[in-house]
A and B are shown apart, each in its own frame.
Chain A
């Protein structure tokens, strides 16, 4: 070789071309951009990347919204917290906290009474309410309309401004009692406040969860599925990209050159998806957005204040999505060899054993007490659900071989090919089934957890069903004999007023009332305590709650009430009088509690259920993403093989084969997965209920969820078949 030849063929020419300015990178970007719009499966890849970018950006913006909301909530919570003092002379107002409920949702009622005329009112109020006036949050007014909330605490004097509420959906009330301050100070429930501006959790702040916990839930339930969609989207259409990468490599390109081409290819869909994700954020920034199914209203001001963080999150989300696509790109020989691939795709055995071990762990968890038992149950459950899709795929694979054999024996090409594909590509079934398995499991678990009211809450629910608001308890440490007289005089016509003494020193609880009141319950009028016999169903409920040995006695002219163990019972003549009774009681005694039997148990359970709504929200989003990832993966599988089937289908004029293949390759395995998951979900839920001896399993919820999954299985099959058939119609010989 000549010296010239050596120079021209030397390392300089084999090395990657030296970038001149940005020209090479620009060219590579343009190559990638063009490559993203021409090969088979590009449209699918574009939309898959687009959807993945939307999902990742939505999770990022969701995190920003959570952080911004928590910041705003903390600031407003602190601004309205009372600065309490023991020194009367420093105080500007009397302050007292109490609780009430609308429906089964509890809210804080803050009683205030200014001691100085120039004292600033709490945040959210333009001025102190006048004596006997109440200022309510807009959400409390909205939710409490049926219960006539605007008349419950006194004269309705308007709504609390946004600065006084941790969120626009907070139920909250400020009430100024009609009584003057000296009168109020007769009882020790009131506290002196020197102003407002110290952290003091109340209202919604009492039921909140730490920010870290919310972000963790969002990350696990929605973020991980979004990342899985990103991984799937990054690998869609790998056949053509692997060829291109091979070519670039052969031409002396390095991984950086490949990365730039991949960036050019993926940048547009990812940028479009990231930009689209900002739309809901923009809506939430312009108006308070209610988040279904939680009913929570986001404070638009909080989100507006966080715009720098929003921009940063969008940039990070774009970079993460693009970076994942570039980093996940591996150079493989798949699709570059002329020989068709042979498949030995088996489900790794450890996954099946792992699922079995998970089930065994759940089963034996009942023999361990306390934390070890809980850990065994939790680990077993996670392992079981995570690996169950592989079990479903293994079952589908075994049945796929049988289907293929039947298809062969009966000469049905769709059944033959579909069965063989299921045997060869069980991963498709695993990816598709993940969403269904986790979805069914989650729905059953939420149903069981929501049914776990606890014994008392379940009893309260039963009581409510039997007598509704037929028996109302009225209790407060401040009920004085004059207040009882006031209350007796202002109750709805025909309502009976009783006192109930539950002093444990007594042989049994004692119910006292006027002779008329006792008779209204179908009872006699004994002058000395005696065990109540008979009575109507309302008395039966009282006995259920306070003891079967309940004693009764005609009360003296003034109804006695033990300050420590006593409470009043109001038994209206007709149902639906709770609002009137509450109004009367609150007029007589500020901050008094008026409840149906066991109502506080129901509000506790309701708090739990409303927290579950967040799990439902994040979980549903995550499931939708997992399902999208599974469907994309299946669609990519169709793209991979449609170039094989399309010519045959065109030549034979039969595109029914695509629908038939989709039925046997997608729908049937998903139905198998649905059945297996349904059985395991039922067992798991019933086992859980048996161990904790609480809650109930709803077969109808399971049946509904399984029916939903079955519909989805059919829809995925139809969609897959239709997509492949449509693609086949566009097939043309292309060896030219």
Chain B
């Protein structure tokens, strides 16, 4: 089992309860650079809560989240936003692209929003889209297919060269062919670009492609293959 070390994602002793219900009960997780981890589990098991804790959108009751060696828990809102901006990328279930913008503009948006150099952002967005095989010249975002759209969403998540890539049901809205292509892409780019990939999914065939597949149940993560704690 690879260790997350200081460059990837490390979650230690994460506890979170919602009222009387314990969602995370001492969750431990390490995702190293270039490594991929898929988290599955029944609905309501707390997968999204885990993602929110990693994103710093929910403060856990106990435990720590470290990204790129930086401790997230206890950071002020501004510092949290900076960590998210600099170290994290995220892919959503529906891609969530703005149909009014071109694919290049959509992909460049995170860099523009964080005040980066716009020329570099457009150049980088064009390169990423070309690398990921998304038509980017003369095709409106609204005309992209579901798979192309999701690949564009991956490109958007990668543009800030994040240390950690989070994916929330990234293939949930795709047909089987597109699902395979997007899953391939996610695991390949995270490996090639050396970023830690944490993927939350219901789809076991997608989860099986990850380096490790963990199941979140009763507040703890267990390895699906060997049935031991992560």
Contacts and interface: CB of A to CB of B under 8 A. Distances in A.
B48 A736 contact: yes
Interface string B134-160: 000000111111100100000000000
Q: Which of A648, A652, A657 has the most CB of B within 10 A?
A: A652
A339 to B, nearest CB: 6
A644 interface: yes
A733 B166 CA distance: 11
Interface string A699-736: 00000000000000000000000000000000011111
Nearest to A646: B96
Nearest to A413: B112
Interface residues of B, number: 58
B99 interface: yes
B51 A733 contact: yes
Contacts of B197: none
A420 B110 contact: no
Interface string B53-64: 001011000000
B48 A339 contact: no
A343 interface: yes
B11 interface: no
Contact of A654 (B49, B89, B92, B114): B114
Identify which of A408, A410, A732, A736 gathers the most chain B CB atoms within 10 Å of its CB: A736
B30 interface: no
Interface string B155-189: 00000000000001100111000000000000000
Given A342-B140, A648-B109, A733 B99 contact: no
B18 interface: no
A102 interface: no
A22 interface: no
B172 A735 contact: yes
B168 A735 contact: yes
Contacts of A650: 55, 57, 84
Given A732-B52, A735-B92, A653 B78 contact: yes
A585 B200 CA distance: 97
Contact of B81 (A423, A652, A734): A652
B142 A423 contact: no
A652 B100 contact: no
A340 B48 contact: no
B47 interface: yes
B205 interface: no
A605 to B, nearest CB: 53
A411 B121 contact: yes
B100 A423 contact: yes
B208 interface: no
Given A341-B142, A651-B85, A657-B113, A644 B96 contact: yes
B97 interface: yes
Contact of A339 (B96, B112, B119, B149): B149
B129 to A, nearest CB: 16
Interface in B22-76: 43-49, 51-52, 55, 57-58
A652 B48 contact: no
B50 to A, nearest CB: 9
B113 A413 contact: yes
Contact of B48 (A341, A413, A657, A733): A733
Interface in A602-647: 641, 643-645, 647
B193 interface: no
Given A411-B112, A411-B118, A651-B90, A339 B100 contact: no
A153 B106 CA distance: 81
A272 interface: no
22 contacts: A338-B174, A339-B142, A339-B145, A340-B95, A340-B149, A341-B142, A342-B141, A411-B117, A411-B119, A412-B112, A413-B113, A417-B98, A420-B101, A424-B99, A648-B96, A650-B84, A651-B90, A733-B52, A733-B55, A735-B168, A735-B169, A736-B49
**Pairs of residues from A and B, 10 with the lowest C-beta to C-beta distance, nearest first:** A653-B81, A411-B118, A342-B142, A340-B99, A736-B48, A735-B169, A420-B100, A652-B113, A413-B112, A735-B93
Interface of B: 43-49, 51-52, 55, 57-58, 77-78, 80-82, 84-85, 88-90, 92-101, 105, 109-110, 112-119, 121, 140-146, 149, 168-169, 172-174, 200
